[in-house]
Amino acid sequence: MENQNNVTEFVFIGLWGYKKIELLFLFLLCYLALLMGNFIISFTITCSHLMQQPMYYFLCHLSFMDVSYTSTVVPRLIRDLAAARRNISYNNCMTQLFAAHLLAGAEIFILVSMAFDRYVAIVKPLHYMVIMNRQRCDMLIVLAWVFSFWHSIALLLMVLKLPFCGPNQIDHYVCDVKPLLKLVCKDIHVVSILVIANSGMIAVAIFLVLVASYVAILYNLRTHSPPGRRKALSTCSSHVTVVLLFFVPCIYIYVLPAETENKDKEISVFYTVIAPMLNPLIYTLRNMEMKIAMRKVWSKVTHLDLK
């Protein structure tokens, strides 16, 4: 029997179900801070010598991905907090699902590239410039987009085949696969396992690889001088903080089956809003090289404006 899809639009229940002006202003301020912080990082890196260094090259791409990913979610969340009816068409919902997973997947693989960069810099310092040349850095960015595309297209095709017969209320503030599965009018046991394999297990595997890389880094830091060790630990600690903020909530959400009741929509705020907003602060507060470059770039900009 052919699957029937009688739903033409979905309605978001939202974070806490009701219109809250305080939340609207809070998320608006968070979004503006996110845009400003990531713009400053991207502008500083692209207008300075830092763009020639692999670590900052990847950081620039991460800032772009933070803005792009969050922009698929937060503007609609802000609009829905002020709207009387939080509806989204079926096609727009599928577009948001695809775009969010595409951009989040690319961000995950960029974080992997950044971890690989730090591993090579600390474990194989004499071969660093040969291994992490610009061609290989570009290849890692392309691979990030390719892998994330296949992940998101597989997820989208899986959801497009599912029948939605009603109700059409999504217990979330974004079109994501798990809240959508709860609206499917057929047994979702097999599909839920496929989603866990597609998203949850991949996130766990990548997280374990990242943990292993930093264990290897810490092991190799024993032979470094105290100043070199402090500098490496400062850089790596920033990256570890970002990885934890992004991966821990993702793993919690996507390794659990869709049938379980949990705090998915509240916890997802961490990787859709909080982590992208904090990334610029995390990468600049303890990074003296970045602070110096920011002062130089912005002093040039101010000098040009005065002219």
Query: What are the residues whose beta carbons fall under 8 Å from the beta carbon of 195, sequence distance 6 or more?
Result: 155, 158, 177, 178, 181, 254, 258
Return the pLDDT at 1.
Answer: 41
Return the pLDDT at 241.
Answer: 84
Q: Which residue in 195, 199, 194 sits closest to 147, CA to CA?
A: 199
Q: Are 211 and 239 within 8 A, CB to CB?
A: no
Tens of pLDDT, residues 172-182: 888 998 889 88
CA separation for the pair 229, 227 (Å, rounded): 5
Return the pLDDT at 307.
Answer: 55
Q: Are 217 and 122 within 8 A, CB to CB?
A: yes
Q: Angle at Cα 70 formed by Cα 250 and Cα 97, nearest 5°?
A: 65
Tens of pLDDT, residues 88-107: 999 999 999 999 999 999 99
DSSP alpha helix (H) spans, 124-200 = 128-131, 134-160, 177-181, 189-195
Tens of pLDDT, residues 32-78: 999 999 999 999 999 888 899 999 999 999 999 999 999 999 998 88
Q: Are 233 and 221 within 8 A, CB to CB?
A: yes
Return the pLDDT at 110.
Answer: 93
CATH number of 9-297: 1.20.1070.10
Q: Where are the domains of the chain?
A: 9-297
Return the pLDDT at 151.
Answer: 92
Q: Which residue in 137, 148, 71, 58 sits closest to 102, CA to CA?
A: 148
DSSP string, 75-142: HHHHHHHH-S--EEEHHHHHHHHHHHHHHHHHHHHHHHHHHHHHHHHHHSGGGHHHHT-HHHHHHHHH
Spans in the chain with pLDDT lower than 50: 1-2
126 CA to centre of own chain: 32
* Residue 161 burial by Cβ neighbours in a 10 Å radius (0-12, 13-18, 19+): exposed
Return the pLDDT at 18.
Answer: 55
Return the pLDDT at 287.
Answer: 75
Return the pLDDT at 64.
Answer: 93
Q: Angle at Cα 141 formed by Cα 137 and Cα 145, nearest 5°?
A: 165
Q: How many residues does the chain have?
A: 307
Return the pLDDT at 39.
Answer: 92
CA separation for the pair 23, 9 (Å, rounded): 25
Whether this model's pTM surpasses 0.95: no
DSSP state letter for 176? -
What residue type is 86 in one-letter code?
A: R
